[in-house]
Structure 1
């Protein structure tokens, strides 16, 4: 008792030794810290209240075509590579990432370009000009403006931009051999809240004169959405084999329903093990069109499983140097519960990149294997009929 009493007296003596100026200083610092903490609390509450409606709207847009995902679900995925199994556990996230930037609008086109979209409102027109410089062997494409684009129902506005692709046919007669290759692609600047945007963006690339007749310029007008997939407003196509472009040729075309181009084939294998609830997707071979002016490049495939309109954790193959037929022979394994295997989709996205350059990844195309209540892919049906046996089939790659 004496020891504790001494401590109390000593502490009291220290307090008595403090001057009145120091006491007021401590009181002022405490008040400032309290005000800072209060401001941080108010700012966090304001941020939450303003952010939640935007996220809720984005989730509603994503789930408008089907039932909403159940919260609290888990996704289990394993990847088989060199006879080693790695198990990953990841909780499904229903929040939409706002990471898409206006400087790279095509970064979020990976998954929405392969979905079976049925656009109801395709209207408006696009004005552009084409010019081929024979002296420099260059094709110049200028996107001028668009008129009377369809607006979104909920906001009555549209944020358009144009994605331009040069589609090169493997043969001059594209109807007999519809395989295409993307020689080059560009995107215009984003014009916010305008159904009659003016772009004025000009692009050019080297193109031999004998190759001009095999090129089709594809203009795809899209509506930028930061929190969801970009909307499709329509497209315009111009085959260059029937045009005289010795002088700048200005054209205006009405927008049409977008069509997909076949850019290759992939040999995929599917196997489902009901006891262990494993889905094995094998990427065996990929055949693409190799243009003569293409530099050395590598390929890889990314596989995503979509269940109940929610993207589960994806996996990717290793990089392989690109040949006319690139051999992978890799199997990626996903652990899926029974309720997920009954209604899900497999998205196989093929990318190319140049090993000598950083950030040179470019989407070649996608394969979409769908299974839902109303339709079923034939390959998926064969897999379910031959459980525990790998079933391999060739699939076209579209973009």
Structure 2
């Protein structure tokens, strides 16, 4: 018989391994025309190449940006913007050097102005430079405390500046001093490192006798800070508490944790928590008393409902009360927080509003009760004499 013709082919001999290629076989099984397959392959190739180029360009861009940051020092003086100078830290090169020798505790720039008409001395705290960090690390959270030797119960605290040894304050405080008391008055400025969970560390002090200064003109001078004195914050007592505010529900939670440094002659201390609205007494709570201790631990929480529309009109007052030597329960010291506060209490209040729904804990020095009542314009209660007294 003859060879078969047409589409039929002679089968391969037995024992051979002739198999078609894998890729041609896959292409043959796809029911697409050849031009469609070529288009899809070209598009995929372009997409892969584009992704590779983007990754390569991004890596090169990062590598180029790291070099100038490590090698070029940018000064604040060369920047031109609408930011005022009191919102940034000064350059070290722009600060006058001290001709007296090496600096140990830093320097403070302040201004003094006395108004004989109102009998007030205006103290302007400008800035401090080259402070020495006393805690771990090479930085601090400094703030200044200003007082007069003739008015130990009246003092002014600036807000704390985070993470710097060259704080810029630009804050002003006033004290009423009659002209006859000026020669005997000494201006005292203490710089302290703010600590949230421990004692505030002193960084330096300045004592300036006002009788040796000509206050007929406005003075603005640099002064060398001396070593911190032996005055401790525990002598007036301290109180630790946390604040938490939830704007949605208007819940203000105050957790009174502990107190320390109270006078040994006091007995059964407890804490009163009071809310004032528009300088009027509004709500009040108090903790239970602790016996036979100068470092009472409370850990008691109180919740107040304060709408967000009224939070700026509220003053929060925490007062430590105890039974004194005369067996009468009297206030030992107070702390006032709110928009009318200053220094650390104002900073604590601002941190609470800035970190909503998160508790913020800090230690606060107790202020004299009469000083806080005068700042809040509170009138002392009238104590009626007891029958037979």
Same fold (TM over 0.5): no
Larger radius of gyration: 2
TM-score w.r.t. length of structure 2: 0.37
More strand, by proportion? 1
Using CA pairs below 8 Å that are at least 6 residues apart, which structure has the higher relative contact order?
Answer: 1
